[in-house]
Amino acid sequence: MAVPALFRTGQSATRAHEEVGEPPIWLLLLLSPTDDAATDGDMSSGDSPPSNTSLYSEGEKVLAYHGPRIYEAKVQKVELRKKEFRYFLHYLGWNKNWDEWVSVDRLMKCTDENRLKQRALEKGYVEKSSKSGRSAQAKPKNLNDARVEKEDHKNNVVAAPKGKKRKNDSGTKDNQSVEKVIKIQIPSTLRKQLVDDWEFVTQQDKLVKLPRSPTVDDILTKYLEYRSKRDGTITDSLGEVLKGIRCYFDKALPVLLLYNKERDQYHKLVVDDVSPSTVYGAEHLLRLFVKLPELLAYVNIEDETQIRLHQKLLDFLKFLQKNQSTFFVSAYEGCKGTEGKGKSKND
């Protein structure tokens, strides 16, 4: 299954125009829950099934997310904790040291459709591992490695693999470089929004009617007002973060954030000095947050600053989620749904 250029790593602008007809792997990965249950619980807004009836029973074989992959498992125990069912799993073919309690959002029924999803994720993970030089081995062989891998899932800021040492022209060795990757957990309702967005555009040949209201600029302004009322003051750092989001959006939109079918619409509306952030809205802004970790990986910022940045980005996503019904369109229109033009970058 090919990954669309919209969220493909390291692709040129020309290849970013490619289109696919199947659900892309990045959508499946977005739907993969993380191990940070506390964060997800704080940001989700009741899209889980009712907790008065267990969806899975003891002894049932299931498919379970573990990090970015899906494994076959067997439900050993079921308990109701704080009005939510928890399931104790044994991963089939793996040591019992991997047995663990998980929430319902980590599990799927063993259906043909879900097995197809499992194979798609497996293929994408192996390809990514081979490109990065990592082993495609699913889980570590010893407990020390296991602890390290589990910490990688729980930490929001993690260290990427160290680069290989190489000799430069003078014969000395460069220092090993470590890329800091910010892992941005997108709320479950917004992940579904991304899936619906992909389906409207690529499968139903529909577009977001432009210009949007509110625009990206409007949303950033509303967030600034929201934080001002909540905190009583606005820090310079928050203002800089929002300026950065706007800048990244304007630069990334034509290269990374558009599907092929949206390009005619872009060329008609974003002309001269018009800023994309005055034309597009929440639908395309949300796409930026999928690509943002990759873009920020190459920015040289200190660890403490990166942690604070991560917290601000998560808070902004929570703001988007709280206003999801207001900021996002409920239905897309035909490919001719465009009106007017946006504002100049100098306005």
pLDDT tens profile 297-319: 777 777 777 788 888 999 999 99
Residues 146 and 186 both lie in one domain: no
Mean pLDDT of 192-216: 93
Answer whether residue 345 is part of any domain.
no
Instruction: Examine the pLDDT at 150 and tell me if it is beyond 60.
Output: no
Number of structural domains in the chain? 2
Same domain as 315, residue 281? yes
Lowest mean pLDDT among 168-172, 195-199, 297-301, 304-308: 168-172
> Measuring CA to CA, which residue among 294, 288, 295 is closest to residue 219?
288
Assess whether 217 and 271 both reside in one domain: yes
User: Do 129 and 203 fall within a single domain?
Assistant: no
Query: Residue 157 pLDDT > 60, yes or no?
Result: no
Q: What is the pTM assigned to this prediction?
A: 0.53
CA distance 275 to 262: 16
Asked if residue 287 is part of any domain, the answer here is yes
The answer on 190 and 264 residing in a single domain is yes
206 in any annotated domain? yes
Say whether both 114 and 204 belong to one domain. no
Mean predicted confidence (pLDDT) in 118-138: 64
Q: Is the pLDDT of residue 98 over 60?
A: yes
Q: What is the mean pLDDT of the chain?
A: 74
Greatest mean pLDDT among 26-40, 120-134, 270-284, 323-337 lies in 270-284
131 and 195 housed in the same domain: no
Residue 307 lies in a domain: yes
Same domain assignment for residues 206 and 297 = yes
Structural domain of 68 = 37-48+56-155
Q: Is the pLDDT of residue 58 over 80?
A: yes
93 C-beta neighbours (distance < 10 Å), count? 10
Task: Classify residue 212: in a domain, yes or no.
Answer: yes
Same domain, 84 and 210: no
Residue 170 in this model has a pLDDT that exceeds 90: no
CATH of the domain at 123: 2.30.30.140
Let me know if residue 234 belongs to a domain. yes
Evaluate whether 75 touches 89 at the Cβ level (below 8 Å): yes
Instruction: Look at residue 276 and tell me if it is in a domain.
Output: yes
CA 296, CA 291: separation in Å to the nearest integer?
A: 9
Domain assignment of residue 19, yes or no: no
The answer to whether residues 106 and 209 belong to one domain is no
Give helix then strand counts, H and E, for the chain.
11, 7
Distance CA 219, CA 222 (A): 5
Please compute the mean of the pLDDT values over residues 241-255 and round it to a whole number.
93
Compute the average pLDDT of residues 231-244: 84
E-state strands within the chain? 61-66, 69-81, 84-91, 100-103, 107-108, 157-159, 180-182
Q: 275: domain CATH number? A: 1.10.274.30
Ramachandran sector of residue 10 (left: φ over 0; alpha: ψ -120 to 50; beta: rest): left
Residue 254 one-letter amino acid? P
Provide the pLDDT confidence category of residue 132 given band limits of 50, 70 and 90.
low
145 and 199 share a domain?
no
Say whether both 221 and 147 belong to one domain: no
User: Which of 121, 155, 189 is where one domain is finished?
Assistant: 155
CB distance 157 to 310 below 8 Å: yes
